[in-house]
Structure 1
């Protein structure tokens, strides 16, 4: 059967938005069912009202738990809240506002009653707290499931540092929320949010871009830029950026449709707004020749996709390596001791680039929360994930956002093109000429819930293998080298290759990330041996 990946969505692929929203208000979860509990992953609680995993009860309980948590932490300043374009985001924001107002929280919503990208919320928190008193620190909530399918909703908390909450916070919030639901929501306070303060997220964010991106260089170069919001929250931001800085920038698709009927299907034939996916970005890539640079963002604009005329959609790892190389050689005000941050499943090309520019590499587990402290204090100038999420410091070395910023990374690609005269993909080819051309891939392997739990606890010492695809194993890691935190799996390294295995948080599979600087055939050997090594360690 021929895959429909990369082809336009058909009517049979679309959600019934009316039914989805109806079930949000009428469904009631049973928290005795693990599938209906509040569970915070690396980016908050996600689920769908179609399977009673994201409903008014969930959001009311989570918001009440956040109110209690922020009070315990002494957070008494305003709370910034923003929502993306998913169908469940608006009703979830309404629920949250009712609870926040009833609890006396000073809450700020978008001035234009519009959509708010995740990075704009993080930017607002940091901007406020930069001059606020210690007893008046702000925090925030972002209502988004990021790039997840249209049927999903998402809800995440950003404490005063502006980035994703850490596991201690999210575990406490989730546990309390489930307790509240089990208690029949009697601990939830609600009121009509009749008078809520507003905040101009967009203007503050757009006007401040000149402090972190060379907007003048982009304008002076005259490059033709296309920006596709993929129906997400960045839609009005891109036009505002073009207007504010006089750029030759076209919003190639300004349509917002909660069913996302204009999308091409992702690799699994689902609608998913992933700007790093060739299948999801097929319609964008088809227009690569129309612009000097074309970019995409996901629904909450915390991820980026970079499309160039000479290479099409760039692999996220490739672009991160180029961005690091460029930034650390074009930001003279950054501290000479500022480090490069990457997740441990990102390409080793980044390791080679960091070494070549004389910068220390900080390798952390999956999750952007691990970069927050470094971005706040300036000790980490760039933090990036292999899944096309990153942020970096302003020209003066101070924090911009402590959450992923897809708009920022897309604009950086334009700055790179304007300043160097070369596309990011051309610059990546130059890196491969210096350091080699790695082959990188991620595959999934079946695993039971028990096996996934065992993998999450696996110690590197449990791996008995001594070779990986013909090379001696040089490291077996269960903790990240950069901060000693558990990686929730294992990473095995040889001289020219590595693999990492981690359990999926949503499916009965484990993920194998692998890379080889010896080419695609060697990568295939690494992947095959990785599965054997992990299965042996799990006793299967």
Structure 2
């Protein structure tokens, strides 16, 4: 923990925006260096111009590769594109438009030159493709330029195919391979043109007007719930006032500042500026307003994550809120399929498992990454999909898809609906779940690992773990594939009746991540974590 975690940023913490943008254009990546290659994680390619990992050549090549990929897939409709408030997003947007126009792709940008949240772009893709008349013109897809909650010096670039959600590994691998090839070949094959004649689309208006199909604003309005919303300087900044005005609810935007240095933020746990609405350190300035509202919320830079603050409980742990949201939604959405499942990533809390069992709903447990929820949200077989990192989405009242990417705005609004309909805060409702199912202790820690060990862990077969007990309790499951869809989890998960751990290699650092939870309290959790590290280290001993 950094000694200044939770304290206001100072001048020395801020990025030099001019130097950052200059490096974007001046530095040329060397793809023989692993850290300078195009590499898609669970949410696109990310990096910084100052480390030559997010520069003009990267975006030129990635965009050209996307153009070629969509052609190979027969995608002939428009491409929606939007960007968040990071300093590198605007130059990357200009670069991408030059390539898209150079390749004669029909492009739609925001009508009001506004920032575009990830969920608004996913919503736009689905709205186009669900309209038979528009779809006849060709399926649409999209690009979101954002590194999500990452620090101000970072940039990010995500591709969403026609299903509206994050591209799957097959697509991103193809795009990354082609992009690195273009860079290595001195950008031969990249077509560029002045970005003229680009069409526009009202992302904000279409998204906000459609929210009544998924959120009970009548209940929120009648109850008089006092709502505070902090965009944390991100892309949702103009959406919250539009929601207030459209639905006439008691909502205050507590911070409307947009500053690419994020000078108004408090430092996160490691002393960095990071727009993580699930972190009490990054949200410290927001928490100062907790007593002023019935529900107070925060979003990250592209608004695909949520933070929920209640006057009685402070900032909710994302796992706690997901469990409350699941119980509420499956009790108040009669238009959903009777067999609609509850989707969770395998590193999310087992409290959700216990709620699902009580609801007699199928639990659909998948690997880390929101892309796994896309098929179920599209066909209505999954009513809710959520990640422990404060990302989730769910179906409309009628059981049809809303977005197939994470929607932090939606989950924030749901907290107000829950408060309005039940008369209790999400924190109070979680306390009721604890009284029924137990009080789990949950934590994620990191342990050192060499690149070779990370590679072994990512391919580890759970059968190679020979232990029969975990922290003194019999092991009931050893997993290297997710039970929901049999996809490889890129690590292992080991469970007992009252505890579990999962270990996965980091994609960016020489560490592996241990997620662990115990329903027998913090001390038992420590025992689980120690046993988990030993089990994994033993399995990696020969790497």
TM-score range, shorter chain: over 0.9
Distance 1:532 1:408 in 2: 40
Cα pair 1:75 1:135 within 8 Å, conserved? no
Correspondence for 2:144: 142
* Shift of residue 133, structure 1, vs aligned partner: 3.2
Distance 1:100 1:170 in 2: 18
Select 1:311's aligned residue among 299, 310, 313: 313
Select 1:537's aligned residue among 530, 536, 539: 539
Cα pair 2:232 2:255 within 8 Å, conserved? yes
Pairing of 1:238-253 with structure 2 (within 5 A): 238-253=240-255
Cα pair 2:2 2:269 within 8 Å, conserved? no
Instruction: Kindly indicate whether residue 278 of structure 2 is the aligned counterpart of residue 255 of structure 1.
Output: no
Correspondence for 1:125: 125
Q: Deviations over 1:195-238 (max 9, x none)?
A: 21000000000000000000111111111100000000000000
Correspondence for 2:65: 65
Cα pair 2:517 2:525 within 8 Å, conserved? yes
**Partner SS for 2:475:** strand
Correspondence for 2:292: 290
Distance 1:439 1:286 in 2: 26
Distance 1:428 1:234 in 2: 27
* Shift of residue 135, structure 1, vs aligned partner: 6.2
* Shift of residue 2, structure 1, vs aligned partner: 6.8
Correspondence for 1:524: 526
Distance 2:246 2:136 in 1: 34
Distance 1:314 1:307 in 2: 6
Instruction: Kindly indicate whether residue 331 of structure 2 is the aligned counterpart of residue 340 of structure 1.
Output: no
**Partner SS for 2:375:** helix
Select 2:416's aligned residue among 403, 414, 417: 414
* Shift of residue 479, structure 1, vs aligned partner: 0.3
Correspondence for 2:359: 357
* Shift of residue 318, structure 1, vs aligned partner: 0.2
> Structure 1: where are the runs of 5+ without partners?
none
Correspondence for 1:89: 89
Select 1:434's aligned residue among 430, 433, 436: 436
Correspondence for 2:8: 8
Select 1:220's aligned residue among 202, 217, 222: 222
Distance 1:297 1:2 in 2: 23
Q: Number of paired residues?
A: 540
Distance 1:509 1:94 in 2: 35
Select 1:474's aligned residue among 469, 473, 476: 476
- Normalising by structure 1, we get a TM-score of 0.99
* Shift of residue 25, structure 1, vs aligned partner: 1.1
Correspondence for 2:102: 102
Distance 1:23 1:113 in 2: 25
**Partner SS for 1:28:** coil
Q: Deviations over 1:44-102 (max 9, x none)?
A: 00000001000110000000000000000000000000100000001001000000011
**Partner SS for 1:231:** coil
Distance 1:147 1:226 in 2: 20
Pairing of 1:385-464 with structure 2 (within 5 A): 385-464=387-466
Correspondence for 1:19: 19
* Shift of residue 412, structure 1, vs aligned partner: 0.2
* Shift of residue 134, structure 1, vs aligned partner: 5.7
Q: Deviations over 1:490-518 (max 9, x none)?
A: 00000100000000111111000000000
Distance 1:526 1:135 in 2: 55
Distance 2:389 2:268 in 1: 15
Cα pair 1:74 1:135 within 8 Å, conserved? no
Correspondence for 2:114: 114
Distance 1:343 1:476 in 2: 16
Distance 1:58 1:118 in 2: 21
Q: Deviations over 1:391-427 (max 9, x none)?
A: 0000000000000000000000000000000000000
Distance 1:505 1:266 in 2: 20
Q: Deviations over 1:298-324 (max 9, x none)?
A: 000000000000010000000000000
Correspondence for 1:76: 76
* Shift of residue 285, structure 1, vs aligned partner: 1.1
Distance 1:20 1:472 in 2: 53
Correspondence for 2:48: 48
**Partner SS for 1:502:** strand
Distance 2:14 2:510 in 1: 25
Q: Deviations over 1:116-160 (max 9, x none)?
A: 000000000000000133661000000000000000000010000
Pairing of 1:481-496 with structure 2 (within 5 A): 481-496=483-498
Aligned Cα root-mean-square deviation (Å):
0.8
**Partner SS for 1:329:** helix
